Protein backbone atom coordinates (compact mmCIF):
# COMPACT_ATOMS: atom_id res chain seq x y z
CA UNK A 1 0.00 0.00 0.00
CA UNK A 2 1.31 3.44 -0.92
CA UNK A 3 2.26 5.66 2.04
CA UNK A 4 0.03 8.58 3.00
CA UNK A 5 1.61 11.76 1.64
CA UNK A 6 1.52 14.48 4.31
CA UNK A 7 2.17 18.21 4.38
CA UNK A 8 2.72 19.55 7.89
CA UNK A 9 1.90 23.19 8.68
CA UNK A 10 3.57 24.71 11.73
CA UNK A 11 6.83 22.95 10.96
CA UNK A 12 9.12 24.81 13.35
CA UNK A 13 6.56 25.14 16.17
CA UNK A 14 6.35 23.08 19.34
CA UNK A 15 4.10 20.40 17.83
CA UNK A 16 6.13 20.15 14.65
CA UNK A 17 9.28 19.35 16.61
CA UNK A 18 7.68 16.09 17.75
CA UNK A 19 5.37 15.27 14.86
CA UNK A 20 7.71 15.81 11.93
CA UNK A 21 10.30 13.29 13.24
CA UNK A 22 7.42 10.85 13.83
CA UNK A 23 6.14 11.29 10.27
CA UNK A 24 9.64 10.69 8.93
CA UNK A 25 10.15 7.58 11.07
CA UNK A 26 6.72 5.89 10.89
CA UNK A 27 5.92 3.32 8.20
CA UNK A 28 2.93 4.23 6.08
CA UNK A 29 3.64 7.97 5.98
CA UNK A 30 5.68 10.17 3.65
CA UNK A 31 6.40 13.79 4.53
CA UNK A 32 6.14 15.61 1.20
CA UNK A 33 5.89 19.19 2.42
CA UNK A 34 6.36 21.51 5.37
CA UNK A 35 4.95 24.99 5.98
CA UNK A 36 6.26 27.58 8.43
CA UNK A 37 6.93 31.26 8.93
CA UNK A 38 10.53 30.67 10.06
CA UNK A 39 13.41 29.08 8.10
CA UNK A 40 11.51 29.33 4.80
CA UNK A 41 13.59 27.76 2.04
CA UNK A 42 15.60 25.64 4.45
CA UNK A 43 15.46 21.84 4.76
CA UNK A 44 13.09 21.00 7.61
CA UNK A 45 15.42 18.35 9.01
CA UNK A 46 18.20 20.90 9.37
CA UNK A 47 15.82 23.55 10.73
CA UNK A 48 14.73 21.15 13.48
CA UNK A 49 18.29 19.93 14.15
CA UNK A 50 17.46 16.34 13.21
CA UNK A 51 20.12 13.79 12.33
CA UNK A 52 20.32 15.07 8.76
CA UNK A 53 18.37 16.61 5.87
CA UNK A 54 14.79 15.39 5.42
CA UNK A 55 14.61 16.25 1.73
CA UNK A 56 11.70 18.63 2.39
CA UNK A 57 12.05 22.41 2.13
CA UNK A 58 9.98 24.67 4.37
CA UNK A 59 7.46 26.58 2.25
CA UNK A 60 5.47 29.75 2.95
CA UNK A 61 2.03 28.30 2.25
CA UNK A 62 0.13 25.22 1.12
CA UNK A 63 0.20 26.01 -2.59
CA UNK A 64 3.99 26.25 -2.59
CA UNK A 65 4.39 23.14 -0.43
CA UNK A 66 2.03 21.11 -2.62
CA UNK A 67 3.55 22.14 -5.95
CA UNK A 68 6.19 19.43 -6.40
CA UNK A 69 4.81 16.35 -4.61
CA UNK A 70 1.03 16.59 -4.13
CA UNK A 71 -0.23 15.51 -0.71
CA UNK A 72 -3.10 13.34 0.51
CA UNK A 73 -3.48 15.11 3.88
CA UNK A 74 -2.58 18.49 5.35
CA UNK A 75 -1.89 18.32 9.10
CA UNK A 76 -2.10 21.79 10.64
CA UNK A 77 -0.75 22.91 14.02
CA UNK A 78 0.08 26.50 13.17
CA UNK A 79 -1.87 29.68 14.01
CA UNK A 80 -5.47 30.61 13.30
CA UNK A 81 -4.87 32.85 10.25
CA UNK A 82 -2.53 30.59 8.24
CA UNK A 83 -4.57 27.55 9.29
CA UNK A 84 -7.64 29.08 7.65
CA UNK A 85 -5.91 30.04 4.39
CA UNK A 86 -3.89 26.83 4.07
CA UNK A 87 -6.86 24.64 5.00
CA UNK A 88 -9.02 26.28 2.34
CA UNK A 89 -6.25 25.91 -0.25
CA UNK A 90 -5.88 22.24 0.65
CA UNK A 91 -9.54 21.29 0.23
CA UNK A 92 -9.73 23.26 -3.02
CA UNK A 93 -6.87 21.02 -4.22
CA UNK A 94 -8.73 17.88 -3.09
CA UNK A 95 -6.50 17.30 -0.05
CA UNK A 96 -7.92 16.16 3.30
CA UNK A 97 -7.19 18.20 6.44
CA UNK A 98 -6.49 17.38 10.09
CA UNK A 99 -7.00 20.75 11.77
CA UNK A 100 -5.31 20.72 15.17
CA UNK A 101 -5.09 24.51 15.32
CA UNK A 102 -7.72 26.20 17.49
CA UNK A 103 -9.53 29.56 17.18
CA UNK A 104 -9.77 29.27 13.38
CA UNK A 105 -12.42 31.61 11.96
CA UNK A 106 -15.80 29.85 12.01
CA UNK A 107 -16.75 31.02 8.54
CA UNK A 108 -13.48 29.64 7.18
CA UNK A 109 -14.12 26.28 8.86
CA UNK A 110 -17.66 26.18 7.47
CA UNK A 111 -16.32 26.96 3.99
CA UNK A 112 -13.73 24.18 4.36
CA UNK A 113 -16.55 21.80 5.18
CA UNK A 114 -18.60 22.91 2.17
CA UNK A 115 -15.65 22.60 -0.19
CA UNK A 116 -14.63 19.25 1.32
CA UNK A 117 -18.11 17.85 0.62
CA UNK A 118 -17.85 19.16 -2.92
CA UNK A 119 -14.36 17.73 -3.49
CA UNK A 120 -15.06 14.42 -1.71
CA UNK A 121 -12.43 14.80 1.02
CA UNK A 122 -12.58 15.05 4.81
CA UNK A 123 -11.75 17.86 7.23
CA UNK A 124 -11.30 16.86 10.87
CA UNK A 125 -11.83 19.70 13.35
CA UNK A 126 -9.88 18.56 16.42
CA UNK A 127 -10.06 20.76 19.54
CA UNK A 128 -7.93 18.31 21.52
CA UNK A 129 -5.86 15.39 20.23
CA UNK A 130 -4.71 13.94 23.54
CA UNK A 131 -6.02 10.94 25.47
CA UNK A 132 -6.32 12.96 28.70
CA UNK A 133 -8.26 15.69 26.93
CA UNK A 134 -10.71 13.23 25.44
CA UNK A 135 -11.20 11.48 28.77
CA UNK A 136 -11.87 14.88 30.37
CA UNK A 137 -14.58 15.51 27.76
CA UNK A 138 -16.20 12.13 28.42
CA UNK A 139 -15.94 12.31 32.21
CA UNK A 140 -17.38 15.84 32.23
CA UNK A 141 -20.40 14.68 30.27
CA UNK A 142 -20.85 11.74 32.65
CA UNK A 143 -20.68 13.97 35.76
CA UNK A 144 -22.77 16.87 34.44
CA UNK A 145 -26.27 15.40 35.11
CA UNK A 146 -25.54 15.41 38.86
CA UNK A 147 -24.36 19.02 39.17
CA UNK A 148 -26.14 22.25 38.30
CA UNK A 149 -23.08 24.44 38.81
CA UNK A 150 -19.87 24.09 36.85
CA UNK A 151 -16.99 26.38 35.94
CA UNK A 152 -13.76 25.84 33.98
CA UNK A 153 -10.28 27.15 34.75
CA UNK A 154 -7.72 26.76 31.96
CA UNK A 155 -4.07 27.75 32.23
CA UNK A 156 -1.50 28.05 29.45
CA UNK A 157 1.77 29.73 28.60
CA UNK A 158 1.65 33.46 27.95
CA UNK A 159 2.69 32.70 24.36
CA UNK A 160 -0.74 31.19 23.60
CA UNK A 161 -2.70 33.59 21.40
CA UNK A 162 -6.30 32.52 21.94
CA UNK A 163 -8.37 32.61 25.10
CA UNK A 164 -10.28 30.64 26.15
CA UNK A 165 -8.47 27.59 24.81
CA UNK A 166 -10.13 25.41 22.20
CA UNK A 167 -10.23 22.58 24.73
CA UNK A 168 -12.07 24.75 27.28
CA UNK A 169 -14.57 25.88 24.64
CA UNK A 170 -15.22 22.29 23.56
CA UNK A 171 -15.67 21.23 27.19
CA UNK A 172 -18.19 24.04 27.68
CA UNK A 173 -20.04 23.03 24.50
CA UNK A 174 -20.36 19.44 25.71
CA UNK A 175 -21.47 20.53 29.18
CA UNK A 176 -24.11 22.86 27.74
CA UNK A 177 -25.42 20.05 25.56
CA UNK A 178 -25.87 17.69 28.55
CA UNK A 179 -28.98 17.84 30.75
CA UNK A 180 -28.29 19.07 34.30
CA UNK A 181 -30.14 20.30 37.42
CA UNK A 182 -30.89 24.04 37.73
CA UNK A 183 -27.98 26.35 38.52
CA UNK A 184 -27.78 28.12 41.86
CA UNK A 185 -28.21 31.90 41.92
CA UNK A 186 -25.03 33.91 41.35
CA UNK A 187 -25.36 36.87 43.71
CA UNK A 188 -22.35 38.78 42.38
CA UNK A 189 -23.43 42.39 41.90
CA UNK A 190 -20.39 44.50 42.78
CA UNK A 191 -16.75 44.75 41.76
CA UNK A 192 -15.30 43.88 38.36
CA UNK A 193 -17.65 41.77 36.22
CA UNK A 194 -14.67 40.48 34.19
CA UNK A 195 -13.37 38.67 37.27
CA UNK A 196 -16.18 36.14 36.89
CA UNK A 197 -14.74 34.97 33.59
CA UNK A 198 -16.27 34.55 30.14
CA UNK A 199 -19.71 32.97 30.05
CA UNK A 200 -20.24 30.34 27.36
CA UNK A 201 -23.84 29.23 27.61
CA UNK A 202 -24.28 28.30 31.28
CA UNK A 203 -20.56 27.67 31.85
CA UNK A 204 -18.01 30.26 32.96
CA UNK A 205 -14.41 29.93 31.75
CA UNK A 206 -11.44 31.55 33.49
CA UNK A 207 -8.18 31.81 31.48
CA UNK A 208 -4.74 32.07 33.11
CA UNK A 209 -1.68 33.00 31.03
CA UNK A 210 1.77 32.73 32.66
CA UNK A 211 5.18 31.98 31.10
CA UNK A 212 5.91 28.98 33.34
CA UNK A 213 2.72 27.08 32.39
CA UNK A 214 2.13 24.60 29.57
CA UNK A 215 -1.47 23.30 29.53
CA UNK A 216 -3.88 22.67 32.40
CA UNK A 217 -7.67 22.39 32.50
CA UNK A 218 -9.86 22.11 35.59
CA UNK A 219 -13.59 21.45 35.45
CA UNK A 220 -15.15 22.31 38.82
CA UNK A 221 -18.56 20.80 39.58
CA UNK A 222 -20.48 21.93 42.67
CA UNK A 223 -23.65 21.11 44.55
CA UNK A 224 -24.64 21.97 48.14
CA UNK A 225 -22.01 20.61 50.50
CA UNK A 226 -19.76 18.88 47.95
CA UNK A 227 -17.56 19.40 44.91
CA UNK A 228 -15.93 17.28 42.23
CA UNK A 229 -13.00 18.54 40.18
CA UNK A 230 -11.63 16.98 36.99
CA UNK A 231 -8.04 18.04 36.27
CA UNK A 232 -6.29 17.53 32.93
CA UNK A 233 -2.57 18.29 32.65
CA UNK A 234 -0.44 18.18 29.51
CA UNK A 235 3.29 18.81 29.86
CA UNK A 236 4.54 18.57 26.27
CA UNK A 237 3.41 17.98 22.68
CA UNK A 238 4.46 14.32 22.80
CA UNK A 239 0.90 13.06 23.64
CA UNK A 240 -0.35 14.52 20.34
CA UNK A 241 1.83 12.28 18.16
CA UNK A 242 -0.01 8.94 18.22
CA UNK A 243 -3.56 10.33 17.93
CA UNK A 244 -2.55 12.73 15.14
CA UNK A 245 -0.97 9.96 13.07
CA UNK A 246 -4.08 7.85 13.59
CA UNK A 247 -6.36 10.77 12.64
CA UNK A 248 -4.31 11.25 9.46
CA UNK A 249 -5.14 7.68 8.46
CA UNK A 250 -8.81 7.84 9.46
CA UNK A 251 -9.69 11.16 7.80
CA UNK A 252 -9.11 9.55 4.40
CA UNK A 253 -12.25 7.45 5.04
CA UNK A 254 -14.49 10.51 5.53
CA UNK A 255 -16.03 13.29 3.50
CA UNK A 256 -16.93 16.82 4.59
CA UNK A 257 -16.42 18.42 8.00
CA UNK A 258 -16.23 15.96 10.91
CA UNK A 259 -15.74 16.63 14.63
CA UNK A 260 -15.46 12.97 15.63
CA UNK A 261 -13.49 10.13 14.10
CA UNK A 262 -14.91 6.82 15.37
CA UNK A 263 -12.17 4.64 16.81
CA UNK A 264 -9.61 7.44 17.09
CA UNK A 265 -9.31 7.23 20.87
CA UNK A 266 -10.15 3.56 21.35
CA UNK A 267 -7.43 1.74 23.34
CA UNK A 268 -4.87 0.07 21.09
CA UNK A 269 -4.74 -3.67 21.69
The active-site residue out of 37, 156, 206, 254 is 156
What is the CB neighbour count within 10 angstroms for residue 191? 8
Where is 58: in which H helix or E strand? strand 58-59
Cα(43)–Cα(200) distance, integer angstroms: 43
Question: Among this protein's residues, is 254 annotated catalytic?
Answer: no
Phi, psi torsion values for 77, nearest 5 degrees: -130, 70
156 in catalytic set: yes
Closest CA to 33 of 49, 25, 44: 44
Dihedral sign for Cα 145, 151, 154, 155, please. negative
Distance CA 156, CA 234 (A): 10
Q: Which one of 37, 160, 199, 217 is the catalytic residue?
A: 160
Residue 8 CA from chain centroid, whole number: 14
Alpha-carbon gap, residue 73 to 236, rounded angstroms: 24
What percent helix, strand, coil does the chain show, rounded to 5? 35, 25, 40
**Smallest Cα–Cα separation from 45: which of 70, 71, 17?**
17
User: Which of helix, strand or coil describes residue 151?
Assistant: strand
Q: How many CB atoms lie under 10 A from the CB of residue 41?
A: 9
The residues that are catalytic are 156, 160
Amino acid sequence: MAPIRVIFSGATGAVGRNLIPALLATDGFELVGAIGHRDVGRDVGLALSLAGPAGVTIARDFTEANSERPADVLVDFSASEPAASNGLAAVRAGVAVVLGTTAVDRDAVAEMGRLAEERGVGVFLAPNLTIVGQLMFRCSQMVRPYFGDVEIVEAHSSTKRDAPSGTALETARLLNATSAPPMSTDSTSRGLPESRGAKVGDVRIHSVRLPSLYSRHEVLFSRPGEMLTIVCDQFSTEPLVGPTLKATRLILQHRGLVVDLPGLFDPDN
